[in-house]
Amino acid sequence: MSDGPFDVFALIIAIIAFIIAIKASSQAAGLRRRLSSLEEMFYAQRQVQPPPLMPAPPMRAEAPAATSEAPPPLAPDAEALPPPVTEDVSPPPLEASTEADAPPPLPAPAPGFEERLGTRWVVWIGGLALALGGFFMVRYSIEAGLVGPGVRVFLGGVFALALLGAGEWSRRKESISNIAALPIANIPAILTAAGTAVAFATIYAAYVLYGFLVPATAFVLLGLVALGTLAAALLHGPALAGLGVVGAFVTPILVTSGKPDYWALYIYLAIVTAASFGLARIRLWRWLAVTTIAFAVLWIFPGLDTSDLQVAPHAFHVIAGFVLAALLVVCGFMFGPTIEDGEIEPVSSNSLGAYLFGAMLIVLSSAHADLALIAFTLLVGATLLVAWRAPAATSALGAAAATVFIVFAEWAVRANPDMLVLPGGPLAGIAPTATDSAVTLHLVMAAVFAAGFGIAGFLAQGRSNSAIIPVVWSAAAVATPIAILVALYARIAHLDRSIPFAILAVLLAAAFGAATEALARRETRPGGKISTALFATGTLGALALALTFALEKGWLTIALALMSLGTAWISMQRPIPFLRWLAAIFAGLVTARIGYDPRIVGDAVGTTPIFNWLLWGYGLPAASFWAASLFLRRRGDDAPLRMVESAAILFTTLLAFMEIRHFATGGNMTDAPSLLECALQVCVTLAMAIGLERLRLRSRSIVHNVGAVVLTAIGGLVSVFGLLILENPLLWRTDVGGAVFNLLMLGYALPAVLMLLLSYAVAGQRGKAYANTIAGGALLFALAYVTLEIRRFYHGPILSTGATTGAEQYTYSIGWLGFGVVLLGVGILVNSERARLASAAVIALTILKAFVIDMSTLTGVYRALSFMCLGIVLVAIGWLYQRILFRRQVAPPPAPQTSI
């Protein structure tokens, strides 16, 4: 490492310290002047007040005469006066009144920025500069060759002793002086901390760099320094502890070596960790324990990215740290602090979880070396033991379960056993025996972990008065075996069909089922219902996995959906809120699964329309989610129910869309869309929107409400952009089929009918504009169908070719006019104002066509017939409106009068 960063760092510290010292000195005079003015004001106020105590006899004689309300001392009826009168002038009341009249003492002003700068920060930076100065002096002496190794070590020891002696001397001087030391910026503590750090560095350099000390001697000396730091921190407070720990952990960085010795490093760190944990335990400094753990975990990373990773010293580091944390940090275990029964303490759990994380990193970085796996297994087992004995560390079970899953999942992804069965044999450098051994060791570990978590989680039920502790145990007992089984299945069976793994899943389901029955028969204990529900959910999950393993890999989607249904059903039997969320989580997992592969089984969907893998992969989950939503709705409308209902609508819609796509493309789902596909999608979407509109009136579900609107919007977008623009047979060459039963009926007539039904379904339930917009779409598509059918009559199945004749233009006018008349007749028969308005719109469009298009394009008899028919129809319409809709009764004429 170059000297540039250290020299610049030291220079910056020196400049900052010098500037701060000057600033502090310039402010000292102002502070003294303020103090003098406050003292003068205080004494001036005290001089105008009476003295706190006065001679007792004169006060007893004169005090009654001073008050007009008090009786004379020698009155004839003095004996009739109540005795307490003479007590009113006693010293206690006078003393109390005097103190009441005295002004309250001035509050001590809070330290300002300048005071903190000059009295605290300067001290801290000065202590750091002293420690760095010692380190840099050693480096400079080495690089310049001024002194030999022995002299360097000797001078380092002398400097450390000088700092320690100065710290102790200043502490004793402060203790016998009248000046109160600052509680945070304690100069003795800073000096002692700097001396401790230099002592650590000196002994470490003498052992690692120069070989003056054998490991045993270095171990003893470092232990003595650690114990000395512990004792000094007990006297000097947390400032020394913090700086001492930071300096001890940073020392190996400052005093470097060309060839690192990880054994020496981790033995040194173990001693430092023990001293720090011991101090944190004695003084109950949680922050010190957390800081130590953070530094210890960071020291795991050096050497992990090298090809020649030394597993043994790294494993020693995490094991030693784990043991020390369990002994001294975990509350309620061995020498740790006491804690209330049933309470989970975060530092206790996180301390174990941190070292489990380090052990996991060693396993992953060493490519699952045997020694790393053994060390990791020991720590996981120790975590179960500590959590069993000390409930404060129960949260560490989650970390243990997570790291176990990560290790096995990474092993499943990393390993590739197919190379063992290649025709040419195993690849160079990979021995079958070594790989077989690794597989065997992983299988043994998997069995140990599954049995350990499962049995311990079951036996832990009923041991605690807290509800959360048995729940954590049961969650770990259920999740860990299932996660391990899935990882092994992916690693060994490659997610293919495997009867042995299906048998293992059935056995696991049987174990969870037996645990569920045993817990259900017990008396009610805190957390017992939730734990029973978790084991029941594990039973369903294991059975779903058995189906997945025994059948094709696409059944995993179905299995997860069935787990959601089963969990919802269990929530009916045992109304636990967690189970409702679990059902929603399973629904989310299935949704994520189809996002990864929408075809569920890749290219193996099949070519059979409807009855293919899409029907099972989307239909069964959709049915499961609909049934689960019915179970969940019986207990109320909440977020989990809405998530499951959303999944039900999503899978139903995707089932329809994917089946339509499969049918329209003949199984090749990568083809471009077509008129047939867009027509079927619009029809199915509108039909589902009608169904949701009816369903929401009964369920009052916001999901059904929003789902209906979304499906209506999707149907409208596909109708406009798909049927009218992108796949319009007038614009693109498309074979529409036969004369009557063709794609035009499917793509335009049927959507028009469905839009009309949807408009009536929302009438009176939603806004009027919303219903009228849908009705307008129905009118547009009906008119489009009439127009395209006329085009089909003249041009055949290909509508985009051929010229438009006069007869065709005349037929368009007649067709539109007839369509308008039909709408008017329907409106009159059913008394529908909406149908009559639609008729008026179509007839108005026909009139516009006659005067704009027919007049300019038609000639001869077609022009005459067009206008003649239009005139006849308009007159007939007027007659209908006058005679039927708006008929007015005419009064009969008066009868003639006859004269008599």
Give residue-wise pLDDT tens across range 453-494: 999 999 999 888 888 999 999 999 999 999 999 999 888 888
CA distances from 848 to 549, 644, 762, 845 (A): 68, 52, 32, 5
Flag whether pLDDT at 181 surpasses 80. no
pLDDT for position 788? 95
Tokens encoding 566: 């089963």
Q: Max Cα separation, the chain?
A: 162
| One-character DSSP codes across 505-543 | HHHHHHHHHHHHHHHHTSPP-TTHHHHHHHHHHHHHHHH
Choose the weakest-confidence range: 517-526, 581-590, 687-696, 774-783: 517-526
pLDDT for position 111? 53
Provide the residue count of the chain: 900
Q: What b/e sequence results for 275-308 when a residue is b if at least 16 CB atoms lie within 10 Å of its CB, and e otherwise?
A: bbbbbbbeeebeebbbbbbebbbebbeebeeeee
**How far apart, in whole angstroms, are the C-alpha atoms of residue 65 and residue 317?**
86
Flag whether pLDDT at 135 surpasses 70. no
Confidence of residue 77 (pLDDT cuts 50, 70, 90): very low
Q: Please state, as a whole number, how many other Cβ atoms lie within 10 Å of the Cβ of residue 588.
A: 16
Distance between start and end Cα atoms, the chain: 143
pLDDT for position 428? 39
Choose the weakest-confidence range: 204-208, 401-405, 555-559, 798-802: 204-208
The most confident of the ranges 47-56, 142-151, 686-695 is 686-695
- The residue among 173, 176, 170, 183 whose CA lies nearest residue 237 is 183
Flag whether pLDDT at 532 surpasses 90. no
Flag whether pLDDT at 450 surpasses 50. yes
Helical ranges in 718-805 per DSSP H: 743-744, 750-762, 768-795
pLDDT for position 848? 83
Q: What b/e sequence results for 771-804 when a residue is b if at least 16 CB atoms lie within 10 Å of its CB, and e otherwise?
A: beebbebbbbbbbbbbbbbbbbeebeeebeeeee
Choose the weakest-confidence range: 181-190, 835-844, 872-881: 181-190
% of the chain exceeding 70 in pLDDT: 71
Tokens encoding 279: 């101090």
Choose the weakest-confidence range: 95-109, 845-859, 873-887: 95-109
Q: Average pLDDT in the 348-352 region?
A: 95
The DSSP symbol for 107 reads P
Contacts 24+ apart (CB under 8 A), 705-714: 707/645, 707/646, 707/649, 711/653, 711/685, 711/686, 712/686, 712/758, 712/774, 714/685
Q: How many helices (H) and strands (E) does the chain have?
A: 33, 0
Confidence of residue 659 (pLDDT cuts 50, 70, 90): very high
- Mean per-residue pLDDT of the chain: 78
Q: Average pLDDT in the 704-711 region?
A: 96
How many Cα neighbours within 13 Å face the side chain of 658?
23
Give the sign of the dihedral formed by CA 500, CA 505, CA 508, CA 509: negative
pLDDT for position 595? 81
| One-character DSSP codes across 578-635 | HHHHHHHHHHHHHHHHHHH-TTSSTTTT-SSSSSSHHIIIIIHHHHHHHHHHHHHHTT
| One-character DSSP codes across 378-430 | HHHHHHHHHHHH-GGGTTHHHHHHHHHHHHHHHHHHH--GGGGGSTT-SPTT-
How many Cα neighbours within 13 Å face the side chain of 895?
3
pLDDT for position 829? 86
**How far apart, in whole angstroms, are the C-alpha atoms of residue 636 and residue 641?**
8
% of the chain exceeding 90 in pLDDT: 36
Flag whether pLDDT at 441 surpasses 90. no
Give residue-wise pLDDT tens across range 740-762: 899 999 999 999 999 999 999 99
Q: Is 735 helix (H, G, I), strand (E, B) or coil?
A: strand
**How far apart, in whole angstroms, are the C-alpha atoms of residue 536 and residue 478?**
9
The DSSP symbol for 260 reads -
- Indicate the residue type of 817: L
Choose the weakest-confidence range: 46-50, 681-685, 709-713: 46-50
